[in-house]
Chains A and B, each alone.
Chain A
Amino acid sequence: MCASVKYNIRGPALIPRMKTKHRIYYITLFSIVLLGLIATGMFQFWPHSIESSGDWSVEKRSVRDVPVVRLPADSPVPERGDLSCRMHTCFDVYRCGFNPKNKIKVYIYPLKKYVGEAGVPVSSTISREYNELLTAISDSDYYTDDITRACLFVPSIDLLNQNSLRVKETAQALAQLSRWDRGTNHLLFNMLPGGPPDYNTALDVPRDRALLAGGGFSTWTYRQGYDVSIPVYSPLSAEVDLPEKGPGPRRYFLLSSQVALHPESREDLAALQARHGEAVLVLDKCSNLSEGVPAARKRCHQQQAFDYPQVLQEATFCMVLRGARLGQAVLSDVLRAGCVPVIIADSYVLPFSEVLDWKRASVVVPEEKMSDVYSILQSIPRRQIEEMQRQARWFWEAYFQSIKAIALATLQIINDRIYPYAAISYEDWNDPPAVKWSSVSNPLFLPLIPPQSQGFTAIVLTYDRVESLFRVITEVSKVPSLSKLLVVWNNQNKNPPEDSLWPKIRVPLKVVRTAENKLSNRFFPYDEIETEAVLAIDDDIIMLTSDELQFGYEVWREFPDRLVGYPGRLHLWDHEMNKWKYESEWTNEVSMVLTGAAFYHKYFNYLYTYKMPGDIKNWVDAHMNCEDIAMNFLVANVTGKAVIKVTPRKKFKCPECTAIDGLSLDQTHMVERQNNCQK
């Protein structure tokens, strides 16, 4: 290939002399080039394939090939665990010091196979679910492979089911982890705690200070604000396809689908069914199942067989009773079916109860009230039931659906505890997407009428019309509530007039020179603005009297979250690049006021400058237009409220202003109107 290059360099000189041979010459040249191209192409892909096959050999290993660790019988066992642990006592936050972007870093120990002295394995190496869980953490933003920078450590020892491990040896295996240090900052996942006969509600493996993400906590074992209560994953979530069913009344009012229930509960259920007949369906194991049908997928009532979990979609409420363990996988199935869970398990700490508002998706009934459950449920209004059904399904989709969802929600909860100032809000956790889209949270929600004494700051954007500017300044300075006047000098080629030439006014006057002639300069949150109220006024608005402006300020005080402006025709009066005229000028509805003269809260300057969606701000600056429309849309968008127009006529006895038919606008309109704006 290097040869061909040389050839080419000499080429131009040789060609005139080799006229007869030029054809062969060119053919040779082209074939060399072609060959070179092919070779390069090969070279391109060759190393990659070598590399990826190298990856293959590193990553794709068998679980059976992992290193074996033999635990001596006398290796240390961790302490039992401290019930008084809280984040600020047992958790070492200093390890989370380096994490940028308010995100904790999680390290996963490499997988090993632990065997006891006699060579008997401590537990099954890893379950499918735990492998999924660790994969999910590893794929997330939380993961780090650098043990020295990690804030949270997750052992690869599978503790999901206590029945499949040997308690003491597992504890020894935990204790010999390289950063164990009494379990500080270690997170253990467990879904099925305890074992016969007493079924403890938390993992029996001694774990010292380690955090436990456990399914089936009771209030006695749960360390509020330290442990995380997680759901018991239902394998049916992945196995069965269950399309969403809309809310509304269903065939059965109340359904119980659990098979292993205490005889006392069974009696109560039978009594319920006897009393309410068809509305209550109590299912049990099927006694005569044909071969090959998994028991988990069928439920029977007397001789009638039902498909599970499909039958859950036929009921409005579904019972989730306590078995030997508090946490029941049926909860996940019930939520998925959009059936409202009726949780009858005293002292059960519901999954993710630290952040999820279970009142919105479930009914919790004390065990001793089980016989009254029907009347309790009957008293719930229908609309609320439908709301709960929607909420139940949304909880499943967001936090129960997969092992990944469970793992990420757990880490998010811990992350929020460590970085509380960046925590996710109640609404983010609990509101289904439909509500999140339609709701507006007004940034100025506190009903407050700012004191008149504070006054307002007038901002005049000007380019070079000094004479008209001085008239505006003189007029505005007569307004009693004016506290400061700010002139934004947008002309970089010309200096503002000397100090002595400016009109003498009673309030401080400050000239801000801008670096670029941009319309957005008008809406910059200057530090000089010391009041909440801002009056944006063009340098040509000279017809507004001080009374009108003062009244405008009074109106703003009563509606501090809105734009309060004067009619648009003022703006049309003299504006050199005004090519557009609004139809709304003389109609019965107003959705915008022009910012040629308008009062608004300073916060909207901040929003305009830093939080304006998309490239709207750039568009405005590029086209030197529409900045007032952008502002109108911005305010309407964040507050969901319409503007107020003040009528600018002098001869009114009583102060008046004008209301409008409420209009709330959304983002899509904003872009459309932006484009229409310049006709």
Chain B
Amino acid sequence: MQSWRRKSLWLALSASWLLILLRVFPVLRLKEPARRQAGSPQGWPHWLDTELLQSFSQPGELLEDGLQPPQAPRGGSCTQGACFDASRCRGGGLKVFVYPAVGPISETPRKVLTSIEGSRYHTASATEACLLILVLGPDTPAGECHPVPPQWDGGKNHLVLSLHPAPCLRIFQLGQAMVAEASPTVDTFRPGFDVALPLLPEAHPLRGGALGQLRQHSPLPGVALIAVAEERGGWRTAGTNFSACPWDGRCEQDHGPKQTHPGAMLPNATFCLIPGRSPDALHFLQALQAGCIPVLLSPRWELPFSEVIDWTKAAVVADERLPLQVLAALQEMPLTRVLALRQQAQFLWDAYFSSMEKVIHTTLEIIQDRISGASAHPSLLWNSPPGALLALSTFSTSPSDFPFYHLQQGSRPLGRFSALIWVGAPDQPPLKLIQAVAGAQHCAQILVLWSSKKPPPPRWPETAVPLTVLDGHRKASDRFLPYSAISTDAILSLDAHSSLSTSEVDFAFTVWQSFPERMVGFLTWSHFWDEAQGGWGYTGERANEFSMVLTSAAFYHRYYHTLFTHSLPKALRTLADESPRCVDVLMNFLVAAVTKLPPIKVPYGPWHQEARPPPLAPGSPRLRAEPQPAAQNCINRMAAGFGHMSLVSSRLRLDPVLFKDPVSVLRKKYRSLEKP
């Protein structure tokens, strides 16, 4: 009884406490909303008669908005549709004719002319062309401008190209001509019709060009945050603690520790502040080259190639009227974004700006994209490595067909490969090789490229996969033609005398699937700088590093056939045809120029060594007897053709996980790699 009473007493007590709490809390709670009501947004009212409101358009008004005859293009404004006659390009795609120079011309226009003539769109006949280019030089006095060319026709289908602010440009009655001008002002620029070019320095190289300066992905801890472009062409770096605007004369005394660099020096900082006046556009390219993120302060000029390049990924366009906020934003920018901007700026420099040739070819590519409409480069191809000049839209417009974009697309290359066996003049049908390859797990088809003078044998061995014989033209570059019979992404390129085991093929293909943009090969060469000869050389000697894999046994993506055939200058391909050994070098050059990475070496059984064909390895004894200069000349001419040495060396080889590990052979997936 007592306990019951005590319990109920406690209950009553706690209940009354609860009451007190409940009495007090509502007061507190009520206060909260009351205060919020005073300061919180009132919001747009909810009208009682919302349901009764009329629609903004009368029924039928959206359907019939009156009839109007087609509009004629208004003067001064042109669009691609109105002022460019694309039907003239219908036949053979874009064909470009450039008016030859009159009289002596200076260095820059000559480089422009050379670049246009080197383009795959160039034609020598003005009647055949659908785009006629007039190059204006920088230093012609206003009185002696280029005469209006005979085919001018009101400027229709013309492109007036001026890499410097040209006095002549405004003298022309431009009419319907497109203008490609360096750093055009935003007010005169016609988006979608004109092309904005970068403002290039006087001594911009013709091809190749200086590589970007970025050597590492992330900025070093000690590097200055900001470099400011100065009027005289130099850069001034400063620490992070600006107390006021670093680019405004008003607060000159507030600068932190500062250093002034001479004009030619590239800035070494994370961000490069560039004022918006037109002459400062020159700084823009310097910043890109240095991998310094350009911060443009209310630019009054159109950014170069803004039609296709997404500059928000590589530069920051800020308002010069808000100095402190811009600085705060730069200081607080997350590392992830800083990394992305830096790398993108550097990629754009390498892809589109580092040489005159790239700038001109990009211009033509933009016009080609406008003409081709739906089969133009998608934005991804322009804005991620290796860039639209190296990702041909004639191959495909779907990014997942290329080897470069699988990560971004969330796709994978096709899980099969095609073996392409090249049978040269003295060779016998490679029956043993066909069997070895056909037994590979992922082999989809075998293609025999018959380049021998003898007719191919009427009968081929029975294989598990389809075998097709293609007829070659007995040229070395034949093997890299984009044959339509190739149905897979991966190609295993083989020679008739190559010797491979099924296990090696299987493993190499697995590796290729991880690196679809690279070449994966078994035999390697390396290049070196020959001091004695003053040129490049290469050797098949076994060394600690390599930079090329032989295409007599290598996996690579089908796309490189298209690129080899359609993008390489004719001179280089002829060179390859003259000296068959050059084909290997050329293909390696091409892939390295695209990926900027070395090829990959996979294990190759030592028991194959006897079968290794002597004529293919320049280091082997029989070849040493041959006159070396021809072969060495080949690599030097390629380096000249590409503008720089694009090969990259590697020091590693990829093996299966349990390769030569002390475990039972039975547990290994590729056991025959270790024992023949």
Query: 10 tightest A-B contacts by CB?
Result: A438-B410, A366-B81, A138-B44, A659-B654, A88-B298, A446-B343, A127-B56, A260-B64, A588-B669, A324-B66
Contacts of B484 on A, CB cut-off 8 Å?
none
B379 touches A359 (CB 8 A): yes
Contacts of A445 on B, CB cut-off 8 Å?
343, 347, 384-385
Checking B5, B15, B69, B214 against A37 with a beta-carbon cut-off of 8 angstroms, the contacting residue is B15
A144 CA to B44 CA, complexed, in Å = 10
The 0/1 profile, CB within 8 Å of A marked 1, for residues 606-627 of chain B is 0000000000000000000000
Interface membership of B224, Cβ < 8 A: no
The 0/1 profile, CB within 8 Å of B marked 1, for residues 118-142 of chain A is 0000001011111100110111000
Checking B49, B61, B218 against A63 with a beta-carbon cut-off of 8 angstroms, the contacting residue is B49
A470 CA to B344 CA, complexed, in Å = 43
In whole Å, how far is A258's beta carbon from the nearest beta carbon of chain B? Answer: 8
Q: Report B52-74 residues with CB < 8 Å from chain A CB.
A: 53-57, 59-71, 73-74
Contacts of A199 on B, CB cut-off 8 Å?
65-66, 68
Interface membership of A24, Cβ < 8 A: no
Interface membership of B317, Cβ < 8 A: yes
Contacts of A377 on B, CB cut-off 8 Å?
374
A261 CA to B217 CA, complexed, in Å = 56
Interface membership of A573, Cβ < 8 A: no
Contacts of A108 on B, CB cut-off 8 Å?
44
Interface membership of A143, Cβ < 8 A: yes
Interface membership of B251, Cβ < 8 A: no
Interface membership of A33, Cβ < 8 A: yes
Closest to B401 in A: A383
Q: Report A416-447 residues with CB < 8 Å from chain B CB.
A: 418-423, 425-426, 430, 435, 437-447
The 0/1 profile, CB within 8 Å of B marked 1, for residues 42-82 of chain A is 01100100010000001111111000000000000000000
Contacts of B648 on A, CB cut-off 8 Å?
449
A225 CA to B302 CA, complexed, in Å = 11
B66 touches A603 (CB 8 A): no
Checking B62, B215, B375 against A450 with a beta-carbon cut-off of 8 angstroms, the contacting residue is B215
Interface membership of B346, Cβ < 8 A: yes
Name the prevailing secondary structure of the B interface residues.
Answer: loop
Checking A30, A128, A143 against B55 with a beta-carbon cut-off of 8 angstroms, the contacting residue is A128
Q: List 11 A-B contacts (CB under 8 A).
A: A63-B49, A87-B319, A94-B322, A128-B54, A359-B374, A363-B373, A380-B375, A450-B217, A451-B216, A654-B544, A658-B654
Q: Report A24-42 residues with CB < 8 Å from chain B CB.
A: 26, 29-30, 33, 36-37, 40
In whole Å, how far is B107's beta carbon from the nearest beta carbon of chain A? Answer: 32
B82 touches A60 (CB 8 A): no
The 0/1 profile, CB within 8 Å of B marked 1, for residues 526-556 of chain A is 0101101000000000000000000000110
Checking B70, B218, B329, B595 against A421 with a beta-carbon cut-off of 8 angstroms, the contacting residue is B329
A111 CA to B42 CA, complexed, in Å = 13
Contacts of A613 on B, CB cut-off 8 Å?
none
Interface membership of B659, Cβ < 8 A: yes
In whole Å, how far is A421's beta carbon from the nearest beta carbon of chain B? Answer: 5
B57 touches A40 (CB 8 A): no
The 0/1 profile, CB within 8 Å of A marked 1, for residues 71-105 of chain B is 10110010111100011000000000000000000
A62 touches B48 (CB 8 A): yes
If A219-B191, A645-B657, A655-B544 touch, whether A324 touches B48 (CB-CB below 8 Å) is no
A4 CA to B64 CA, complexed, in Å = 77
Q: Please tell me which stretch of B18-26, B197-205, B225-233, B438-446 contacts chain A, meaning at least 4 of its Cβ atoms lie within 8 angstroms of it.
A: B18-26
In whole Å, how far is A677's beta carbon from the nearest beta carbon of chain B? Answer: 21
If A88-B321, A264-B69 touch, whether A439 touches B217 (CB-CB below 8 Å) is no
Q: Please tell me which stretch of B113-121, B416-424, B508-516, B548-556 contacts chain A, meaning at least 4 of its Cβ atoms lie within 8 angstroms of it.
A: B508-516
In whole Å, how far is B409's beta carbon from the nearest beta carbon of chain A? Answer: 6
Contacts of B12 on A, CB cut-off 8 Å?
8, 11, 26, 29-30, 33
B410 touches A134 (CB 8 A): no
A219 touches B192 (CB 8 A): yes
Interface membership of B489, Cβ < 8 A: no
Contacts of A642 on B, CB cut-off 8 Å?
514
Question: What is the interface size of chain B, counting residues whose CB is below 8 A from a CB of the partner?
Answer: 136
A640 CA to B407 CA, complexed, in Å = 7
Interface membership of A657, Cβ < 8 A: yes
The 0/1 profile, CB within 8 Å of B marked 1, for residues 605-629 of chain A is 0110001000000000000000000
Contacts of A58 on B, CB cut-off 8 Å?
45
Q: Please tell me which stretch of A158-166, A168-176, A496-504, A510-518 contacts chain B, meaning at least 4 of its Cβ atoms lie within 8 angstroms of it.
A: A158-166
A529 CA to B18 CA, complexed, in Å = 58
Interface membership of B383, Cβ < 8 A: yes
Q: Report B135-158 residues with CB < 8 Å from chain A CB.
A: none
Contacts of B46 on A, CB cut-off 8 Å?
59-60, 135
The 0/1 profile, CB within 8 Å of B marked 1, for residues 575-596 of chain A is 0000000000011111000000
Contacts of B485 on A, CB cut-off 8 Å?
none
Interface membership of A232, Cβ < 8 A: yes
A294 CA to B657 CA, complexed, in Å = 70
A128 touches B43 (CB 8 A): no
Contacts of A51 on B, CB cut-off 8 Å?
33
Contacts of A641 on B, CB cut-off 8 Å?
407, 514
If A383-B398, A588-B668 touch, whether A296 touches B79 (CB-CB below 8 Å) is no
In whole Å, how far is B460's beta carbon from the nearest beta carbon of chain A? Answer: 33
Interface membership of A376, Cβ < 8 A: yes
Interface membership of A262, Cβ < 8 A: yes
Interface membership of B13, Cβ < 8 A: yes
Closest to B662 in A: A649
Contacts of B513 on A, CB cut-off 8 Å?
662
Closest to A88 in B: B298
A435 touches B217 (CB 8 A): no
Checking A137, A324, A450, A659 against B511 with a beta-carbon cut-off of 8 angstroms, the contacting residue is A659
Contacts of B407 on A, CB cut-off 8 Å?
439-442, 640-641
Contacts of B336 on A, CB cut-off 8 Å?
443, 607, 611
The 0/1 profile, CB within 8 Å of A marked 1, for residues 228-271 of chain B is 00000000000000000000000000000000000000000000
If A128-B54, A363-B374, A555-B652 touch, whether A425 touches B312 (CB-CB below 8 Å) is yes
If A259-B63, A260-B64, A447-B595 touch, whether A425 touches B313 (CB-CB below 8 Å) is yes
B56 touches A161 (CB 8 A): yes
A217 CA to B602 CA, complexed, in Å = 59
B651 touches A554 (CB 8 A): yes
A425 CA to B658 CA, complexed, in Å = 43
Closest to B297 in A: A88
In whole Å, how far is A110's beta carbon from the nearest beta carbon of chain B? Answer: 8
In whole Å, how far is B32's beta carbon from the nearest beta carbon of chain A? Answer: 12
In whole Å, how far is B289's beta carbon from the nearest beta carbon of chain A? Answer: 14
A64 touches B49 (CB 8 A): yes
B186 touches A86 (CB 8 A): yes
If A11-B12, A363-B373, A446-B343 touch, whether A421 touches B330 (CB-CB below 8 Å) is yes
Checking B56, B70, B82, B339 against A443 with a beta-carbon cut-off of 8 angstroms, the contacting residue is B339
A454 CA to B13 CA, complexed, in Å = 75
